[in-house]
Structure 1
Amino acid sequence: MAIIYVIIGIIWLVIDQVTKFWVQEGMSLGQSIPIIPNVFHLTYILNKGAAFGILANQRLFFLCIVIVLLAVLWYFRRYIVAGDAYTKLGTTLLVSGALGNAWDRYYLGAVVDFFDFRIWPIFNVADIGICIGVVLLAIHVWRSPQGGEHNG
């Protein structure tokens, strides 16, 4: 993979961990700071589950998911390296986000979340990377000759 994608991944991971550290050091657990009242707050929580708190307290399960994800991506590494920018950047952000949240789960037992739009579950920088990565990979699949409609 081109070095630029490695650099992007490292930068995304560092931004994720620095913002989580900032929240942990500057806020009390459960504290909410309105940035735009009733629209956007910074709210410090520890999420022991996945999105919407599902599968709470399944730390080992989530860590195993990350290991499986990394193994699958290693298996497809030649395809990823030869892929388009959507594939490379999508994979980069997905891996970076997964590693950021895995780090939290391993060392804290939960994921630090803090972006709170009041109408959506509270999330973090790693979650943004995962979502963007999945969307970019979906765009790649949709645009590829093997994706989309089947001729039959």
Structure 2
Amino acid sequence: MIAILIIVLTIAIDQFTKFKAISLREGDVSLIGEKLKLVYVENRGAAFGFFQNKKIFLTIITIAILLMLVYVLIKSYNKFNLITIISLSLIIGGAIGNFIDRIFRGYVVDFISYTFFNGYEFPVFNFADIFVVSGCILMIFSVFLTKDLEEI
């Protein structure tokens, strides 16, 4: 099942990169000048730092969303187009990656920092975030290109 492979792979990539990112406590690594850097940040909230120190709330919401997504994926797996399966798998894998951090560390390790040309510093993020966003973008394509999600 391709979904399980994608979910396991996204979790493994996310956790491996976070494990490596812990060494950034000793100092940032500049990749492209001041535009793209690796830094160490402990995010005790959700996306963009919302809901800081609301671990119980975030845990409940995450479990509810994960259960719903897994249920939809399992229930309709054979009916779904590959793009829908990949999108759901990326979202699930990314969510589990950050959930693992939140449960075992009490915070999510973020480490990718990007500054736009106008000086705006985008909130620091990680690979789990990239997987969730990529999955959401694919889901938008799925909505427009398939009929997979019409009955849900």
In the superposition, the TM-score normalised over structure 2's length comes to: 0.86
Shift of 1:51: 1.9
Structure 1 residues 111 and 146, CA gap change in structure 2 (3 angstroms): closer
Pairwise mapping of residues 12-51 of structure 1 onto structure 2 (< 5 A)?
12-24=10-22, 26-28=23-25, 31-51=27-47
Structure 1 residues 89 and 67, CA gap change in structure 2 (3 angstroms): same
Of 79, 82, 104 in structure 1, the residue corresponding to residue 101 of structure 2 is 104
SS in 2 for 1:41: strand
SS in 2 for 1:14: helix
- What is the letter of the counterpart of residue 55 of structure 1? F
Of 68, 83, 86 in structure 2, the residue corresponding to residue 86 of structure 1 is 83
* Alpha-carbon distance between aligned partners in 1 of 2:7 and 2:141, rounded to the nearest angstrom: 19
- What is the letter of the counterpart of residue 44 of structure 1? Y
Shift of 1:73: 2.1
* Alpha-carbon distance between aligned partners in 1 of 2:81 and 2:146, rounded to the nearest angstrom: 10
Correspondence for 2:118? none
Shift of 1:78: 2.1
- Tell me if the contact between 1:80 and 1:87 (Cα under 8 Å) persists in the aligned partners: no
* Alpha-carbon distance between aligned partners in 2 of 1:49 and 1:92, rounded to the nearest angstrom: 23
Runs of 4+ aligned residues of structure 1 deviating over 6 Å after TM superposition are: none
Which structure 1 segments of 5+ residues have no match?
none
Of 58, 63, 66 in structure 2, the residue corresponding to residue 70 of structure 1 is 66
* Alpha-carbon distance between aligned partners in 1 of 2:77 and 2:140, rounded to the nearest angstrom: 13
- What is the letter of the counterpart of residue 85 of structure 1? L
Q: Does 1:142 align with 2:144?
A: yes
* Alpha-carbon distance between aligned partners in 2 of 1:136 and 1:39, rounded to the nearest angstrom: 27
In the superposition, the TM-score normalised over structure 1's length comes to: 0.86
* Alpha-carbon distance between aligned partners in 2 of 1:61 and 1:115, rounded to the nearest angstrom: 25
* Alpha-carbon distance between aligned partners in 1 of 2:9 and 2:16, rounded to the nearest angstrom: 10
Which moves more between the two structures, 116-125 or 74-83?
74-83
Aligned-pair identity (%): 32
- What is the letter of the counterpart of residue 102 of structure 2? R
Of 8, 12, 35 in structure 2, the residue corresponding to residue 10 of structure 1 is 8
Shift of 1:146: 8.2
SS in 2 for 1:64: helix
* Alpha-carbon distance between aligned partners in 1 of 2:78 and 2:5, rounded to the nearest angstrom: 15
